Every structure is written in structure tokens, then in C-alpha cells.
Amino acid sequence: MEARHPIDTRLPEMLRSGRPVRAIFNGLPSPAIVEMCAYAGFDAVIIDNEHGSADLETTEHLLRAARAAGIPALVRCLEHDIPRVLDIGACGVQIPMVQSPEHAAAIVRRVRYPLPGGRGGQRGSAFSTRAAGFGAFGGPAHTKLSNEGLALVVMIETPEAAQQARAIAAVDGVDAVFVGPNDLAHVMGHENRIHDPEVQAVIEHVMREVAAAGKCPGVLALSAQDQARYTAWGARLFATVTTGIITQALRQAAQAGDAGTKY
């Protein structure tokens, strides 16, 4: 039987396809939750190592669960974690607080392996990692697969970055630009009120600029109404959050119990 490669390479094409991609952030250190996201029908899971509690060993298990269940798994991480996150088999990374096209280009170099002739990036090469099948898939084939098959999503979360959205999106190697509306609202002085008109106007600007650059615009969409509005602005990558869904379901169950519902 032929061994299955650890890396799921479908996500870059999904982001280029023009079709909507429905993803879900998961900050819970539970492989079972990742499996449930796959079985529920999400197109991708974003393992949240910016705000979640999983360490790298647990993240590796979350990636195994995603691969086994058949769902592409990005990892949202801080920049210094990019090499190790990719080495444990993420199908891409989502990087917060990208501020300029120069910043985005520097991240691209950290994601890509060097190539002959001084091309490619600056990622350190090791074929003993899970991403290379612990040596089973090492060598130039692994370098090529990684450079072509890993996705990079950069996040815009400030008005200053939003002003450069088209230039950030146009950087070669950036597959999608995702607006973080909560951080954006806080930076703009609107606390967590992401639906305030001023915040929504910046989100619309970013969505339209990224689409104009030929890349995939992404945004947090916690309701069908949000997704419909952002779709009209050009968005194609939409995400919700496991903890919000679970808490809402638990609250509904608790309220139903108070009303006398029997389980």
C-alpha cells in the first residue's frame, strides 16, 4: 500500500478557484474537535495558535486528525513559529498583523524553501520532519511540493494596513488576505463593535482591493447575513469559530433545560 503524504496540498487551489471556502477557527487542543469540523462539512480548519492553548506537540496531533479526516488545516501562528509549524505538517499558515507589502514579502520568504540560482525563500531545510514523512518524502520533491502546495494567508487588522490592501495582496506567494474585524475595530476605537459603519467601510475597502488584485479576500463571518454582505464585496474565504458555536449550542441546551425539556 502506498503511504499517504502528510501534507494536504489542496488549499492553494481552493483559494484560487473563485469558489467560496468555508473555514472554522479552532483554538481548542482537541483532535476530536478537528475531526468534527471535517465531518460537519467545513472546507478547511484554521488551528488557532495565536489565541488557542495548543503547544506544538498537540498541534501536530491536531494536524494528524485533520489529515485523517480529510480536511485541509492551516495554522494561525506568530511569525517566529512559522518554521516549526510547517515542519510538523501544516498545509499553510495564517499570519496576523501584516502591515505592508514589504512585510508580506518577508513572510513569503520564511514560508518558501531556497531554490537553485538564488530563487525561492529562506526556509531552513530538514527532511527528518513530519512534513517530509520523517524522511520518506525528503529531497527535491519535498521542496517542490512545499513551495507550490502550501498556502499563505496574511491578515490585515489595522487601518494603516487596510490602506495598502491591494499592494499586500499583490505580493507573489500570498494566496489570501484575511481581515481580522475584532482587532480592526479595537484599533479604530470601536471596541468589539465590528458592525459599526466605520469598521464595515474599512472591511469593504479591503475586500474590494484584494479582489481587484486577483487574490482571495477573507473575513470572519459569524452569520449568514454577514457572509451574504461580504460576498457582495468580493469575499470568498469565510470563517467562524468553534468555541462560539459550541457555547451557543450549550447555552441553548441549558435554556431548554430550564424550560423543562427532558434529555
Q: Specify the amino acid at residue 201.
A: A
Length of the chain measured in residues: 263
Active site residue: 5, 51, 142, 186, which one? Answer: 51
Q: How far is residue 136's CA from residue 171's CA, in Å, rounded to a whole number?
A: 33
Alpha-carbon distance of 30 to 59, in angstroms, equals 9
122 within 8 A of 109, measured Cβ to Cβ: yes
Q: Are 179 and 185 in contact (CB under 8 A)?
A: no
What counts of helices (H) and strands (E) characterise the chain?
12, 10
First CA to last CA distance, the chain:
46
List CB contacts of 251: < 8 A, sequence separation 6 or more: none
Active site residue 51: yes
In the numeric block, the cell 470563517 is attached to: 239
Distance CA 55, CA 244 (A): 21
Residue 195, C-beta contacts closer than 8 angstroms, at least 6 positions apart: none
Q: Could you tell me which of 241, 252, 161, 149 has the C-alpha nearest to residue 209?
A: 161
Q: Which amino acids are annotated catalytic?
A: 51
